[in-house]
Structure 1
Amino acid sequence: MVKPTQLISLEIGKELNKNYNEKRGAILAEKTAMEDANAFWFSIEELERYIAYVKDTAAGKGLSVNGIRIYLGVYPETAEKNAGYTTVFLSPTGTAINEVVDRGVILQGNSLDLTEIEPLNFGSMGNPPKLNYGG
């Protein structure tokens, strides 16, 4: 196994979460008059199943997958569940295999949303009151 290079320490994670809660969460709470979620959870099985689905679907559509982009969203006020609350959804990224653009240049290293494949949503929301990382 190769250790990921993007790992951060517990202390940095706590600082990032604290900064979000104080700087963004506080503004959102004031603006919306409600305390919003600040954490979301997906099981390892859900993530592995989604990645396998994305790879299989992409191959069948002639797409090359190179990552997953995580978007922030807000459920509409008309939603039956979690109306008005923040959510995240995962979108596969990549390119069409051998995609050619502008003067015959092959795209390499681009991470475009693969909108031909459905995003993943509906993890478990860290229900308000907000969670504090590591604490």
Structure 2
Amino acid sequence: MGKKITVAKAKKLQKKWWDTRSMVTTNGKEHEDTCQFYFTVEELQTYLAEVKTKSLQQGVETPGINIWFGAYDETADKPSLATVFLAPTKRVKSDDPEMEFEDVANDEIEPINETQGKWPPTIY
């Protein structure tokens, strides 16, 4: 798999994020927010199998997954906290003459979210 990186590179990337962008998750407020989210391998395998099956039923030959940042609404007992969700994509012929294909959201398949982040937030 050609897109893998070393653990050392991953730690460097995450530290750079922490050092330069962690204030974005708090919007300058005093609460801490997580930047790590956990899915079990089984949850991911089950979800990816569902995306693959439903995509094939739709005639989508090259499904993909986008990983998006999100934030929950503030509640009476919690500030607005960060989250991520995985959303299916489908490859379609592009209208852009410089691109043959583009990957767009496949809104016919629901994203996956309900995950937990490490608390309190820590660096990888």
Secondary structure at the counterpart of residue 102 of structure 2:
coil
Q: Which moved more, 1:108-117 or 1:43-52?
A: 108-117
Question: Which of the pair has more CA radius of gyration?
Answer: 1
Aligned to 1:77: 74
Provide the TM-score with structure 2 as the length reference: 0.81
| Structure 1 alignment gaps of length 5 or more | none
| Structure 2 alignment gaps of length 5 or more | none
What pairs up with 1:1-135 in 2 under 5 angstroms? 4-29=1-26, 31-78=28-75, 84-95=80-91, 109-127=101-119, 129-133=120-124
Aligned residues: 122
Provide the TM-score with structure 1 as the length reference: 0.76
Deviation of the 1:109 alpha carbon: 3.5
CA distance in 2, matches of 1:51, 1:82: 31
Name the amino acid aligned to 1:45.
E
Deviation of the 1:113 alpha carbon: 0.8
How high is the sequence identity, in percent, across the aligned residues? 31
Task: Supply the RMSD in Å over aligned alpha carbons.
Answer: 2.7
The runs of 4+ residues in structure 1 deviating greater than 6 Å are: none
